[in-house]
Amino acid sequence: MAAWKVSDARPLKALQGENAKLKKLLAQAMFDNVKTMVTPVARREAVAHVRTTFEASERRACKVLGADRASVRYRGRRADDALVRARLRELAAIRRRFGYLHLLALTGREGLIMNHTKFRRLYREKRLQVRRRGGRKRALGTRAPLSIPQGANQRWGLDFLSDAFADGRRFRILAVVDDFTRECPALVADSSLPGLQVVRELDSIIAWRSRPTMCLSDDGTD
């Protein structure tokens, strides 16, 4: 083997020096990012990277990065949620208007115990949220205008009024008006006006005035 000259060793020494500088810069960058490794997963990845790059032991890498060896070695044992997922899907298909709390209670009765936060996450992953019911659908198209009465007793208007006495007792009033003549055939006042009483009052008016062609009332609760 030929002897190496000093001039031949210089390039190799320079190359080794450059490699050492690069490793030092990489290590410095890793140490600067230690503060950002707040999760166990991030620390495990950092330890693995240091061990691979610098051929360091696990003990040395954990000491440099300030990571706990037990945390680095830990491997989570996540429970199998397949049974809960399947049962959740079945119950949601049967109970379409049940929210996740009702479904959680049902699965709990069957022995499938789960934290409500995790159950809610599974519930949302399956997109099982109950849709809000829309408002009442309105009739499409235009309504035909009401015909104008051409004579007396063709159309009666019924209206319910409410008021109170000075002592606070309330009373109701039924007003019956002929829409053509603007007469008021009846003005009935009482503490309450149930449906049977209204029918009796209208029958008594019809007995002496004859039956109208149409009765018109508003869409109120009465």
Kindly list the strands in the beta sheet with 170-178, ordered across the sheet, starting from the edge strand earlier in the chain.
186-190, 170-178, 155-164, 214-217
Share of the chain above pLDDT 90, in %: 9
Domain boundary among 49, 73, 97: 73
67 and 120 inside one domain: no
Q: At a CB cut-off of 8 Å and minimum separation 6, what does 130 contact?
A: 96, 97, 98, 99
Confidence of residue 178 (pLDDT cuts 50, 70, 90): very high
Confidence of residue 81 (pLDDT cuts 50, 70, 90): confident
Whether residue 121 lies inside any domain: the answer is yes
Whether residue 202 lies inside any domain: the answer is yes
Structure tokens at 40: 């166990």
65 and 87 inside one domain: no
Residue 46, pLDDT > 70, answer yes
pTM exceeding 0.85: no
Write out the residue range of the structural domain in which residue 175 sits: 155-217
Comparison of pLDDT for 86 and 17, the residue scoring more: 86
Domain boundary among 73, 105, 138: 73
160 and 109 inside one domain: no
The number of domains in the chain is 3
Whether residue 141 lies inside any domain: the answer is no
Structure tokens at 118: 């995790």
213 and 160 inside one domain: yes
